[in-house]
A and B are shown apart, each in its own frame.
Chain A
Amino acid sequence: MISRIKTAIFFLLFISSLCAQDVNMAAIDGGTFVPLYGATNKKPVKVAPFKLDVYPVTYEQYLAFVKKYPEYSRSKMKGLFADKSYLSQWKSDFDFGKNNLSNAPITNVSWFAAKKYCECQGKRLPTMDEWEFVAMADEKRVDARTKEEFNKYIMSWYEKPNAYANPIGKTFKNYWGVYDMHGLVWEWTADFNSIFLSGESRKDKATDKNLFCGSGSVNATDLMNYAAFMRYAFRGSLKANYTTRNLGFRCAKD
């Protein structure tokens, strides 16, 4: 009997280790913060504890997904869910080619594809607040947004082209043990379509003055606002079927 239980437990552990996607996830304690955008009257937003992938999803991982769900391969992907540049850097449906490193972050994926990928791992896309909460940490602090070097680092990446070709895990490990929130690729969030920008083509959206503060000067707070503004403005310009060369994703879990 006991040996049988032992076998069963071993079997269970074996299976769970096979399926465990949590290995490369970092536990985020949660907390409150005031995001640049999205807080009503600048009141702090609460982020509940959750788990976040330590790295963005890579070519190798995405290839495994596409092999398992061929309807997400380049030639089978439906136009409703991704535009024409979906995986356009790949050699063929099941070959990402020699120019792309297997451990580089996957890009040219739509929101629908990213969402589905996460769902099929038993995960989900992080919300914008969750993503921004983790992204404000540097190596030592939960919130490094007012630190000048931190903002300069982010801004210098925004100026660098082609960072998306680099392998994952080469930027800094932040307070939560998460890599590549800055310095590699932009990332999809679950609720990217909750941003309202004034001055863009859609005439009827509510505006948010927070988005337009302090872009003219160069002290640390303004740099911080400017960096965050770039991210929110980028998200605000996206549609769910868009794919671009510098936009990837990672998954989260409750």
Chain B
Amino acid sequence: MKGILDQNRKGIFKTAWYFLLVLPIFAFFLVIQSCNKKESTAKEKPISDLSIYNLPSKWTTQNGQNIEMKDLRGKVLVMVMIYTSCKSACPRLVADMRNIESRLPSDVKENVKLVLVSIDPEVDTPKRLKDFSIENKMEGDQWLFLRSTEENTREFAAVLAVNYKKISPMDFSHSNIISVFNAEGELVYQQEGLGVNSDATINKITEESTKLN
């Protein structure tokens, strides 16, 4: 009896040992597989070729909520890339965003999300983004602050054609571009520069919003 038990135990030991060796292989293939993942099929019509909703990256909001870009589908998006510790250009970019927001009629506004994406994910935690939104009186539902990994941020900047570079632990240079996306996530307009006239941007937002009503 004891002999049989011993043998069984030995068998189990062998299997476990084998598993230890084989497990990493499976893990490896799982990693490779993840590259293979097909994007989940959209509920309505398929996402268009030029849509930012093709991006699989995950983002965290100022409220600590995890989202993907495609969760924003159906809204007109006004997007800008900033970092909260920025002293020079960003306050003006943020002011431009607020100016655009204040000039949108309320029936347009309800179709719009104004999105500020951090290029400094290390410093700009959800809490910091939240504090920033409060300080700058950007607390309404139309305001969204996002951050992700450094790599996803670099990719998103590539999509917006925003260039940025860390020039010191606290500072970045970056292009000052405000981008407008239609409800399908396609880029329809870009406003470049600081403190420029936003009329064309507002017209474009209004035009895209009208299509939704």
Query: Which A residues contact B (CB, under 8 angstroms)?
Result: 1, 4-5, 8-9, 11-12, 15, 19, 38, 40, 68-69, 78-81, 111-112, 115-116, 119-120, 122, 190-191, 193-196, 202-206, 236, 239-240
Contacts and interface: CB of A to CB of B under 8 A. Distances in A.
Interface string B45-58: 00001111011000
A33 B49 CA distance: 41
Nearest to A236: B163
B193 A204 contact: yes
Contacts of B86: none
B162 interface: yes
21 contacts: A4-B14, A8-B21, A11-B21, A40-B168, A78-B49, A79-B50, A80-B52, A80-B159, A112-B158, A193-B154, A193-B158, A193-B164, A194-B163, A195-B163, A195-B165, A196-B165, A196-B173, A202-B175, A202-B192, A239-B158, A240-B158
Q: Give the most central of B18, B164, B167: most A CB within 10 Å.
A: B167
A62 to B, nearest CB: 15
Interface stretch (B28-36, B123-131, B133-141): B28-36
Interface residues of B, number: 37
A204 B175 contact: yes
A196 B174 CA distance: 8
Contact of A12 (B25, B52, B89, B173): B25
A200 to B, nearest CB: 11
8 cross-chain pairs, A with B, having the tightest CB-CB distances, nearest first: A240-B158, A194-B165, A206-B173, A79-B49, A120-B35, A78-B49, A79-B50, A204-B176
Interface string B175-210: 111000000000000001110000000000000000
A195 B175 CA distance: 10
A8 B163 contact: no
Given A8-B22, A193-B163, A204-B193, 10 more contacts: A8-B21, A68-B36, A69-B36, A80-B52, A80-B159, A112-B158, A122-B31, A194-B163, A202-B192, A204-B176
B158 A78 contact: no
Contacts of B35: 69, 116, 119-120
Interface string B136-160: 0000000000000000001101110
A80 B49 contact: yes
A236 B31 CA distance: 33
Contacts of B194: 204
A8 B35 CA distance: 27
B158 A205 contact: no
A107 to B, nearest CB: 19
A76 to B, nearest CB: 10
Contacts of B173: 196, 205-206
Given A69-B35, A120-B32, A194-B164, A78 B154 contact: no
Contact of A239 (B36, B161, B193): B161
Interface in B50-92: 50-52, 54-55, 89
Contacts of A78: 49-50, 54
B159 A240 contact: yes
A40 B167 contact: yes
Nearest to B38: A71
A112 B55 CA distance: 11
Q: Tell which of B17, B154, B158, B161 has the most Cβ of chain A within 10 Å.
A: B158
Nearest to A19: B28
A118 to B, nearest CB: 11
B121 to A, nearest CB: 15
Contact of B192 (A1, A116, A193, A203): A203
Contacts of B165: 38, 191, 194-196
Contacts of A5: 17
A119 B55 CA distance: 15
A196 B163 contact: yes
B163 to A, nearest CB: 5
Nearest to A111: B158
A78 B186 CA distance: 12
A19 B51 CA distance: 34
A103 B194 CA distance: 48
A11 B23 CA distance: 13
B51 A80 contact: yes
A120 B36 CA distance: 8
